[in-house]
Amino acid sequence: MDRGEQGLLRTDPVPEEGEDVAATISATETLSEEEQEELRRELAKVEEEIQTLSQVLAAKEKHLAEIKRKLGINSLQELKQNIAKGWQDVTATSAYKKTSETLSQAGQKASAAFSSVGSVITKKLEDVKNSPTFKSFEEKVENLKSKVGGTKPAGGDFGEVLNSTANASAGAPEPLPEQMQANP
């Protein structure tokens, strides 16, 4: 097959930017003086275009900076806008939406679990309060209160008993019923 028949299947190496074109040409493919001169002219033309484009780009960047300065847009504002735009782009992705949905479901499940734990704890405390051991303890506290405090008949809930016992011990000691009868 000759070069004309290969067409797009050509396997000759293409020089990268900065490579010497002459170094990539194989020994069998020598260029005439005329072809070399044509390539040099093309090279100079492309380099000149690159230089022109660089100058145009620099002028455009300077003009952009001037417009931003006149509008009062500074680097911090640009950063804020970029972050806001970036966040908007992130929240629009399907990965973010799936993650958000998953986290929302996890939060709902955790909330339900905590609610369930709270209900279990409440039930256990009620069970303890209704247990024979607690009732016996409560009766002993009430008996002690009636012996110490004496003015109120036994009864009421445990909280009232504790409060009245605390109040009785904080204030002046009340005389025992036996002492009251001895001092008419």
Mean of the per-residue pLDDT values for the chain? 77
Mean pLDDT across the stretch 72-101? 87
Residue owning tokens 């275009």: 49
Q: What is the pLDDT of residues 96-149, one digit of tens each?
A: 888 888 988 888 888 888 888 888 898 888 888 888 888 888 888 888 888 887
Contacts of 165 (CB under 8 A, 6+ apart): 141, 144, 145, 148, 149
Terminal CA-to-CA distance of the chain, rounded, Å? 138
Q: Given this model, what pLDDT does residue 39 score?
A: 94
Q: Given this model, what pLDDT does residue 160 score?
A: 72
Mean pLDDT across the stretch 9-26? 58
As a three-state string, the secondary structure of the chain is CCHHHHHHHCCCCCCCCCCCHHHHCCCCCCCCHHHHHHHHHHHHHHHHHHHHHHHHHHHHHHHHHHHHHHHCCCHHHHHHHHHHHHHHHHHCCHHHHHHHHHHHHHHHHHHHHHHHHHHHHHHHHHHHHCCHHHHHHHHHHHHHHHHHCCCCCCCCCHHHHHHHHHHHHHCCCCCCHHHHHHCC
Q: What is the pLDDT of residues 45-80, one digit of tens each?
A: 999 999 999 999 999 999 998 998 888 888 888 888
Under 8 Å between Cβ of 24 and 39: no
Q: Given this model, what pLDDT does residue 161 score?
A: 65
